[in-house]
Amino acid sequence: MSPTAMPAAPRAGFLARRRRGYYLFIAPALTVIAAVIVFPWLFTLWMSVFDWKIGSVAHFVGLENYRKLLASTRFLESVVHTFYFTALAVIAPLFLGTAAALVFHREFPFRGLLRGIFIMPMMATPVAVALVWTMMFHPQQGVLNYLLSLAGLPPSLWVYSPTLVIPSLVIVEVWHWTPLVMLIVLGGLAALPTEPYESARLDGASEWQLFRYITLPLVAPFLVVAAVIRTIDALKTFDTIYVITGGGPGTASETINLYLYLQAFAFYNIGDASAVVVVFFVIVLALALLLLHVREKTKWS
């Protein structure tokens, strides 16, 4: 069966024939990809150059939708909100998740049980979680302000304040997704060799030095994986924000996704919404390239 056993002349023809046969086999997958990924993509691009509101006729407007977007302070603010939210919602769980993983990596009684409890938030449905947090954030009847009052602190406005709303929403994200980071890092810790630690201890390294110069560099690739997953999740967050604040107060927590939803499904401006999708895609692509670059770097070190 091996092609090397074939004589030289017919071999090329056979290979070509065989290659044609291969194309036949990838055809189904190619069709599916073309239908569910490529076509919607091209269609979105096509729609983004039209002024089209559901219920009226579409007009070709070229890049007008994009020009309007870039001139819209509301859209630009939503980009800023998205980055602000994403940065907090990636960094905070990374720190807390790593700390938690270090704790759970040690031996102590009921470790398995506590670990199980710790990852429970991950199993909860985002919308249900968001509804519960909405109640907890309530300035008069919420439990969070009650806890603050027990500690003798003044009540906070949480998601009802334009300045606190994004950090408050990040609290929900942190509660929900720190366990995921913990699991990834814990996996990394379990795979670490013990020899470097033993020799470092012999050399008189402190606990901090062990962590800083051995553990951290060795789990760095895992941290990058966690960061990539968290970034993807945080960028596309919609349910939590939509349920808790709907983008408010005013537009203080309106991210690109919420802006997009409003344009497409509340105002029915399909052209504008498609342009937002395209811009969002470019942003995601740029971030993905950046993260890949970071990942290559950690591998190399």
Catalog residues that contact another protein under the rule CB under 8 A.
Answer: 53-57, 138-141, 155, 157-162, 245-251, 262, 265-268
Is residue 89 within a helix (H) or strand (E), and if so which, with residue range? helix 73-105
- Least distance to another protein from the beta carbon of 55, Å? 6
Nearer to another protein, 53 or 105 (CB): 53
Complex with another protein: residue 68 or 236, whichever CB lies closer: 68
Quick one: tokens of 10? 């017919």
Nearer to another protein, 121 or 249 (CB): 249
Cis amide leading into 10 (omega within 30): no
Nearest to 101 by CA among 211, 231, 234: 211
Cβ at position 245, least distance to another protein in Å: 7
CA distances from 88 to 130, 152, 300 (A): 18, 27, 27
CB of 162 to another protein, least distance (A): 6
Tell me whether residue 4 or residue 73 sits nearer to another protein (CB atom): 73
Separation between Cα atoms, residue 90 and residue 174, nearest integer Å: 9
CB 44 → another protein: shortest distance, Å?
A: 17
Which residue pairs, CB below 8 angstroms and at least 24 apart, start in 105-111?
A: 105/186, 105/189, 105/190
The answer for residues whose C-beta is within 8 angstroms of residue 202's C-beta and 6 or more apart is none
- How far apart are alpha carbons 75 and 278 in whole angstroms? 13
Min separation Cβ 107 and another protein, Å: 46
* Residue 246 near residue 266, CB atoms below 8 Å: no
Cβ atoms of residues 241 and 134 within 8 Å: no
CB of 56 to another protein, least distance (A): 4
